[in-house]
Amino acid sequence: MNVNQLLVLAIFASTIIALIATNKRPSSIFAGSLLILIVSQQLTIKDIITNFTNQGLITLVLLLIVSNAVDKTSLIKRLGRTLVTASYRQSYWRLFGLTFFSSALLNNTAVVASLIGPVKQNQYHPASKLLIPLSYIAILGGTVTLIGTSTNLIVDSFLIEHGHAGFNFWDFTLYGMVAGLSCGLLMFLLAPWLPDIENKSGKYTSYFIEAKVAVDSELVGKSVEDNHLRNLPELFLVEVVRNNKLITPVSPDLVIEANDKLIFTGNIQHVGNLSHIKGLSLFAESNGLLRDNLTEVIISNRAQIIGYTLKAVGFRALFDAAVVAIRRDGEALSGKLGEIKLQAGDFLLLATGPDFLSRHNLAKNFFILSEKKMPTKLSLKQEYLTLFGFLLVVGLAATSILSLATGLLFLLAALVVSGVTSNAEIKRNLPLNLIVVIVGALSLATGLERAGVIDNLTEVLAPLVTNTSPFVALVTVYLATLLLTEVVTNNAAAALMFPFAYGIAQVMQVELMPFALAVAFAASASFISPYGYQTNLLVFSATNYKLKHFVKIGLPVSVCYSSIVLVLLKFTYPL
């Protein structure tokens, strides 16, 4: 090997070691590798720009941005409230159906993030009995289609980079469906192995929130339990005000009536879940000011509003703001939000109008603390546009009528025009870390090929694989990727292993597609470690799991999944 080849190999090896042995973000490690490749003149700026415009990468970025808009809709949140029942069997299969099939089309990390709250809040089963299955089901669902997980699209981008047509939308479906359903059944049978542990207590300040039930609300005529109001993430129904009478404590059998005032306490970050309940409006909504940016203030000890209620002072007219929630440290609040007498030191969460900051009485009454972000509630038309538009784009891509990237680009433009998302929100949601990982990996692959490392690998492997079965080589690639994804991350594992899978396929002069599929499926098969896949990290941090809990359930799931995928690859391709 010459100096350039040794240098590129050293950069590649250092990248893998850094991913395994350090706590640095993968994006930082790949960015460093990218800079070294440029400084050492193994690649030019033009090469890097070419990788930034990779079609697979562009498709992935568009998909993630559109998925953020889809996540604003009430569909998953509304279904999530109805998931868990007194029957574990029924709860598990409801969770499986919703998570598996939604993860096939939507970003599986977003699906898990939406469902963690209802699962943790359920009244029937320990969350630890459902959260590991939730993550694993989302991983399995993501392997069913091309767009189910970013890993599939990363491997697709490598195929396109190497002159291949790329994956079709349904290339993953046979393997993903058979493996997913089989592993789903296995997890249900292994449910007694899941730990029974207490939930982590939420680290948040508890606000006092009021919502009014409209005449046409879906809640009217049904009990608290039937409306699943006890399954809201980190929000607790503590009181009901009916005809100026306070009902507390609230029993599960209490039937909700029109014009009831529902009093919640809990994490204000989840107040958006209330806005997704049809016919339930927050106190601030009646003032027409509820927006996605909320301002938190504390009442000054010199405030003129101390001792008065919100209604008595005419709060909206006085400050061009409406109160979304109140928090008073050291004292439990009770009754209607508008009839609570304000005190010095009360925390108010305000939905503000355009004149709020120009009011001269702010400094006399408040200390402004911070601005909080609240999910924007979509109108019915916006929800229909987002959901049906996304399904239309997926349908056109699945039938090869329109490319996925083109369809997503037009849908994103429609979402901006209709106000579902904005240019500023797109900038905030741009997955820069993931882009850096993919571009860095593409660039490493380019460096390996340009320096002749892949050609040298071909020459070295040629005598070794002459008498080896292609299936044995496929299993080797699969297991190497599987090991790597458990110790680094799924995206990094896929990106780093593809060049070698490509080289082995060339050496053996066999079709590349089964090797590409093997890399994609193995990179998604992170069941043994909580660190290799984002959904595992989400549920790991949601309760008091330990590594042994993932190993105990994940190891048999991983064996089942891998066996099915490899056997199906053997029978569907001439190996």
Question: Using CA atoms, how far apart are residues 521 and 47, in angstroms rounded to an integer?
Answer: 28
Span 539-566, mean pLDDT? 90
Calculate ∠ Cα 497-501-504, nearest 5°: 140
* Residue 465 to residues 184, 199, 462, 574, Cα–Cα distance (Å): 36, 52, 6, 17
| CA-based nearest residue to 96, from 189, 180, 204 | 180
State whether 409 and 307 are in the same domain.
Answer: no
In this prediction, residue 543 carries a pLDDT of 80
- Give pLDDT, residue 490: 79
**Does 449 lie in the same domain as 320?**
no
Cα gap 418→379, rounded to integer Å: 10
Query: pLDDT grade, residue 92 (50/70/90)?
Result: very high
DSSP label of 151? H
Asked if residue 91 and residue 167 are part of one domain, the reply reads: yes
pLDDT digits (tens, 9 = 90+) for 421-473: 888 888 877 888 878 877 887 788 778 778 877 677 667 766 666 677 889 88
Q: What angle do CA 108, 550, 88 make, to 5 degrees?
A: 75
Q: What is the pLDDT of residue 202?
A: 52
With a cut of 80, say whether residue 233 has pLDDT above it.
Answer: no
- Are residues 356 and 464 both part of a single domain? no
Task: Tell me, yes or no, whether 363 and 427 share the same domain.
Answer: no
What is the predicted pLDDT for the residue at 566? Answer: 95
pLDDT tier at 363, thresholds 50, 70, 90: confident
Higher pLDDT, 533 or 309: 309
Give yes or no for residue 19 having a pLDDT over 80: no
Q: Do residues 515 and 444 share a domain?
A: yes
In a domain, 40, yes or no: yes
This prediction's pTM: 0.72
Q: Which of 307, 342, 373 is the last residue of a domain?
A: 373
When comparing pLDDT for 513 and 538, which is higher?
Answer: 513
Question: Does residue 367 belong to any structural domain of this protein?
Answer: yes
Kindly report the three-state secondary structure assignment for every residue of 134-148.
HHHHHHHHHCCCCCC
CA-to-CA distance for 280 and 185, rounded, in angstroms? 38
Reported as a single tens digit per residue, the pLDDT across 57-91 is 788 788 888 887 887 777 777 777 778 888 899 99
What does the pLDDT average to over 235-244?
Answer: 83
32 in any annotated domain: yes
Cα separation, 253 vs 391, in Å, equals: 38
61 and 197 co-located in one domain: yes
> In Å, how far from its chain's centre is CA 139?
11
Mean pLDDT score, 150-160: 86
Residue 272 resides in a domain: no
Compare 516 and 252 and report the one with higher pLDDT.
516
CA geometry: angle 99, 102, 108, nearest 5 deg: 75
331 shares its domain with 433 = no
Cα within 13 Å of Cα(407), Cβ side: 20
Specify if 552 maps to a domain. yes
Question: Is residue 471 located within the same domain as residue 328?
Answer: no
Question: Are 36 and 163 found together in one domain?
Answer: yes
Contact 545, 531 (CB under 8 A): no
C-beta contacts of 19-27 below 8 A and 24+ residues apart? 19/487, 19/488, 19/489, 19/492, 20/487, 20/488, 25/433, 26/433, 26/437, 26/488, 26/489, 26/491, 26/492, 27/432, 27/433, 27/434, 27/436, 27/437, 27/440
**pLDDT in the model for residue 243:** 86
- Predicted confidence at residue 461, as pLDDT, reads 64
Answer with the one of 350, 373, 396 that is the final residue of a domain. 373
**Cα angle 527-533-534, degrees, rounded to a multiple of 5:** 135
DSSP state of 254: P
Instruction: Judge whether 379 lies within some domain.
Output: no
Q: Span 247-269, mean pLDDT?
A: 83
Task: Kindly state whether residue 66 falls inside one of the protein's structural domains.
Answer: yes
Last residue of a domain, one of 373, 397, 419: 373
Token pair of 119 as six digits: 């699962």
Would residue 217 count as lying in a domain?
no
Q: How far is CA 457 from the centre of its chain?
A: 38
pLDDT of residue 519: 94
CATH number at residue 336: 3.30.70.1450
In this structure, of 381-395, 422-436, 449-463, 549-563, the range with the lowest mean pLDDT score is 449-463
| Average pLDDT value for residue range 358-384 | 75
Q: What is the pLDDT of residue 513?
A: 92
Choice among 69-78, 147-156, 497-506 with the minimum mean pLDDT: 69-78
**pLDDT tens, position by position, 108-125:** 877 887 788 778 777 788
Judged against a pLDDT cut of 90, whether residue 518 lies above it is answered with yes
- What are the φ/ψ torsions at residue 334 (nearest 5 degrees)? -150, 150
Q: What is the pLDDT of residues 398-419, one digit of tens each?
A: 887 888 888 989 999 999 999 8
The answer to whether 393 and 408 are in contact (CB under 8 A) is yes
Same domain, 346 and 394: no
Mean pLDDT of the chain: 82
Range from 213-217, 310-314, 354-358, 370-374 carrying the lowest mean pLDDT:
370-374
- Report the number of distinct structural domains present in the chain: 2
Residue 154: other Cβ atoms inside 10 A: 28
**The predicted structure's pLDDT at residue 288:** 52
**167-210: per-residue pLDDT in tens?**
888 899 999 999 999 999 999 999 999 988 775 555 555 677 88
Neighbours of 534 (CB within 10 A): 22
Identify residue 203 by its one-letter amino acid code: K
pLDDT of residue 565: 96
276: which residues sit within 8 A by CB, 6+ positions away?
74, 77, 78, 377
The overall longest dimension of the chain from CA atoms, in Å, is 89
* Domain that includes residue 3, residue range: 1-201+385-575
- Cα–Cα distance measured from residue 318 to residue 362, given in angstroms and rounded to the nearest whole number: 10
CB contact at 8 A, 62 and 409: yes
Non-local CB neighbours of 51 within 8 Å, separated by 6+ positions: 57, 161, 438, 439, 442, 443, 446
- Whether 190 and 41 map to the same domain: the answer is yes
Q: Across 206-210, 285-289, 523-527, which has the greatest mean pLDDT? A: 523-527
